Structure 1
Amino acid sequence: MPKLPEDERSADQPVRVRTITDLAKLAGVSPGTVSRALAGKSLVNAKTREKIETLARDHDFRLNQMASRFRRQKTGVIGVVIPLGHDRRQQISDTFFMTLLGYLADELTDRGYDLMLRRVIPDKDEDWLDRFIGSGMVEGTIVIGQSDQFERIEDAADGYQPMVVWGNHQEGQRHCVVGTDNRLGGKLAAERLIAAGAKNIAFLGSTEPIEFAARFAGAKAVAERMGVSIGVLPTHLNPDRAADEIAEHFARQDHAFDGIFAATDLLAVTCLKELQRLNIPVPESMKLVGFDDLPIASQTQPALTTVKQDIAAGARCLAELLLRRMEGENTESLILPPKLVARQTA
């Protein structure tokens, strides 16, 4: 049926009130007056405010919460940004990111906040952090990973209080971090490989990201102390690219190493698949240790020995510290202890 002009509609046809403008027409006032009245502003006289409130109740109308928060300079939104300066082809569908984001969403939505997610390639957007925190769209910011952006994050921290970073802590840094003791985690991984009989260890991954560099440094310190050789097999984090690079490493090195410390569980799982394709038995001929203890680590065959970082606790701490900083508190960084989870690959 074609839509009737307003003056031809039945007098008893209900008026649908969906927006402030609809309610304003019904009340015979401006949308701004409706907004101020429902916000309880004293600029609207009592009689008009009572009329508007009554109409709003009769039509079950509520101000859009987001618009109301903007007027109060509160958006109810926490920004979560993932900088990928070290590996622009890495995906935020990476299991580590998704696991941490899932826990973060639980923590923040339970506290009444929504999340705004952004993935950035810093060399394409040099002002990525300044523009994000200055957009007016977020009340606080969580940065997942320092990548190769440590100095940029430090600069932002000088003038922006409500920011917490998941990453590695360095003595004297200015930005607030929640993360795992990556150097200790690297030590645990190397000690496990050596105890399992490894004489030549390879670190699988990149040492460019700060967290990975700390993991390698910890493993290297143990290897040198124990008289065991250790080298680096540079590998990207994009799964398709990593698989090809790992295959090339094995072909070029001719299996000169007998122990592998992978920078992440996903790299370890990809490596395990290549070892199985090459019929190299694990752990008999090759020992393998990962890092993260993602759910997949216990599901591989054989099950992956790895270094656990408590992602759930990390997400909880990120949320708690950020909310405290949003209230003006100058919180300290929090470093969580790693734990070796011994399974079957080492």
Structure 2
Amino acid sequence: MKTGAVNLAGTGQSQDKAAAREKPAVRSIADLARIAGVSVSTVSRALTGKGTLNDKTRERVRALAEEHDFRLNVAAQNLRLGRTGAIGVLLPLGHERGQQLSEPFFSAMLGHLADELAARGFDLLLSRVLPGRDCWLDDFVRSGRTDGVIVIGQSDQSAVLDEVAGHYRNMVVWGAHDPAQAYVTVGSDNVAGGALAARHLLGRGRRKLAFFGHHPAPEFVAREQGFLAALPEDLRDAVQSVPAHLTPEESYAAASAYFEAGNRPDGVFAASDIIAMSVLAAAAEHGVSVPADLSVIGFDDILLARIATPPLTTVRQDIAEGARLLVDLLQRRMAGEEDVASVQLEPALIERESS
């Protein structure tokens, strides 16, 4: 019995060694490609999730990698290919230096961008920029830390963006489109959004109107232009334009001072939901009833707009679709496509109780 047990163990060990000899060693992506009978690039696409590949091939390559306990060294591959595997997401705050990344619009946009980039195999490198010199963007792209750049908002940095776009193609910007600019943008049709707000207030019988926004932002300028253009001339000339910054504290201070001065409009279009909610709060504190005495419309349709008091009527821009397009257009430019054009998203009026 003892001898038999020894013999059985010895037989099993021999079989294991034989199996190990039969299974080829996989030490590189080329080894795995040879076993799978596909190209190295196909293996790379299967293991990283980047690029197009049919599901059957992808699963077969991944199953072989698992069987051979092979893990792709992405860092080494990127180094070999001259890539970083990361996309820079930059937020230049040239005119609104008090804004924080925790603000609702930024949070929503960054969340969607993170999902889109992760799904395509990229890391996200985030930078909140307070421009001090005109070379801030050029310095970033020349640092080589990322394979491409997505800029959220043009702020007052259009000239800087234009200059860099002249020698760096792997960049897409979220913001208003201008045919004269050299860079590619994805953004809402802000003029059309302003017109939606104007027509809605006119339909509510509102005639004493005000616009709240901060003019250095090109998006805000376009929203006001669309708003004014959709009004009859006699009302257009009487619209009060109230400077209001994007931060909750500063926009509330502007709205409170406006009502404190005795101003009593019956319709307000605010350039952002944050500003609009500040108007709601200041109006309530000064005895102005919304919507009985005053209709208020914002812009963005952030989550907080739905739970404001009262819930905020707003012009919605599709942030999720915007993020998808930003990543898609950037990938196409990184791939060398020449016919990548700017995209304007159509806004939509979301009617709630504030108007």
TM-score norm. by structure 2 comes to: 0.78
Aligned to 1:203: 211
User: CA shift at 1:94, angstroms?
Assistant: 1.4
SS in structure 2 of the partner of residue 155 of structure 1: helix
Partner Cα distance (1:256, 1:74) in 2:
58
Give the one of 249, 252, 256 matched to 1:247: 256
SS in structure 2 of the partner of residue 143 of structure 1: strand
Structure 1 position 187 matched with structure 2 position 195: yes
Give the one of 141, 147, 170 matched to 1:139: 147
Q: Which amino acid aligns with 2:350?
A: V
- Cα 1:70–1:224 shift into 2, 3 Å: farther
Partner Cα distance (1:226, 1:284) in 2:
24
Give the one of 82, 96, 113 matched to 2:105: 96
Aligned to 1:293: 301
Aligned to 1:169: 177
User: CA shift at 1:62, angstroms?
Assistant: 5.9
SS in structure 1 of the partner of residue 231 of structure 2: helix
Q: Which amino acid aligns with 1:106?
A: D
Counterpart contact for 1:223–1:230, Cα < 8 Å = no
Deviations 1:177-222 (A, max 9, x none): 0000001101111111121122121111111100000001111112
Structure 1 position 232 matched with structure 2 position 234: no
SS in structure 1 of the partner of residue 314 of structure 2: strand
Q: Which amino acid aligns with 2:327?
A: A
Deviations 1:281-302 (A, max 9, x none): 1011111000011111121232
SS in structure 2 of the partner of residue 115 of structure 1: strand
Counterpart contact for 1:180–1:338, Cα < 8 Å = yes
Partner Cα distance (2:278, 2:169) in 1:
39
The sequence identity of aligned pairs, in percent, is 43
SS in structure 2 of the partner of residue 159 of structure 1: coil
User: CA shift at 1:266, angstroms?
Assistant: 1.1
Aligned to 1:338: 347
Deviations 1:301-328 (A, max 9, x none): 3211110101111011111100000000
Partner Cα distance (1:246, 1:130) in 2:
38
User: CA shift at 1:225, angstroms?
Assistant: 3.7
Partner Cα distance (2:321, 2:221) in 1:
23
Q: Which amino acid aligns with 2:169?
A: Q
SS in structure 2 of the partner of residue 340 of structure 1: strand
Partner Cα distance (2:73, 2:249) in 1:
44
TM-score norm. by structure 1 comes to: 0.80
User: CA shift at 1:242, angstroms?
Assistant: 2.1
Partner Cα distance (2:259, 2:341) in 1:
43
Deviations 1:6-57 (A, max 9, x none): xxxxxxxxxxxxxxxxxxxxxxxxxxxxxxx96879xxxxxxxxxxxxxxx9
Aligned to 1:120: 129
Give the one of 321, 325, 343 matched to 2:333: 325
User: CA shift at 1:61, angstroms?
Assistant: 9.0
- Cα 1:104–1:226 shift into 2, 3 Å: farther
Partner Cα distance (2:161, 2:145) in 1:
19
Aligned to 2:186: 178
